[in-house]
Amino acid sequence: MNTIVTVPGFDSFTAQHVFDTAARHLLSQKKRAYGKKENGGHSCLYNGPDGTSCAAGVFIEPQYRAAADKHGSWGGVVGAGMASRANYDLIRNLQIIHDDALDEWSHAVTVAFWSGELRSLAESYRLNEDAIDEMLTGS
């Protein structure tokens, strides 16, 4: 599949925009997008149950998320020609943060874990943390 499946404007998104979008998405979703794959195994998904998606999935148009799931990690999606390498390392790190949460955690524990990991990631990329603060305080 050589169809580009990312949301409009993806290639021009700044690192801050990518971070803010993914942080808001994860902290509002409050749980991993995890479920059964077509091959019978289970993993994190771009097109998860109840409309969920991983941190990278928010950058894929909804109608293409199931097709992207067949390629696994963001590297697989990029390697299949479905997305460009724009902000590749950042998106891959955001995907890892999503994937490291555990399903048995409560929403509060997941949000606390993700917010801490997101803050560390923001610091390493020299990004501001306003999106995290906004989601945690509701302002």
pLDDT digits (tens, 9 = 90+) for 5-60: 999 999 999 999 999 999 999 999 999 888 776 666 667 888 888 889 999 999 99
Asked whether the predicted pLDDT for residue 64 surpasses 60, the reply is: yes
d(CA 81, CA 69): 14
Candidates 85, 76, 73; CA nearest to 18 is 85
d(CA 64, CA 5): 6
Other beta carbons less than 10 A from residue 137's beta carbon? 7
Amino acid at 119: R
Query: Please, which residues bridge with residue 43 across strands?
Result: 35
Confidence (pTM): 0.91
Unique residue bearing structure tokens 């050589």:
2
d(CA 40, CA 78): 23
Unique residue bearing structure tokens 């989601």:
135
pLDDT at residue 25, as a whole number: 95
